[in-house]
Amino acid sequence: MTQVTNFFLNGQSYYIKKTVTLFDIIIYFNYNDSLLVLEYNNLICNKKNWKNISITNQDKIEIVTIVGGG
């Protein structure tokens, strides 16, 4: 039986059936990783850790993108 993991990204609920990292989420949702701040379970997460942190059940991820303009 496959384990289903529920996580929240920017307040929206998602379900996955395999192990993914924060970096996988960023790539999947097509975020520009040089222009964002990532909060993982209420803590700002350093970019160097994104590939090492696997999503677990009930994790909360908030991604804020930086937009330039004038």
Per-residue pLDDT of the chain (70 residues; tens, 9 = 90+): 578 999 999 999 999 999 999 999 999 999 988 889 999 999 999 999 999 999 999 999 999 988 777 6
DSSP 8-state secondary structure symbol assigned to residue 60: E
Q: Which pLDDT belongs to residue 34?
A: 87
- In CATH, the number for domain 5-65 is 3.10.20.30
User: What span, in angstroms and rounded, lies between the C-alpha atoms of 2 and 26?
Assistant: 23
Q: Which pLDDT belongs to residue 69?
A: 72
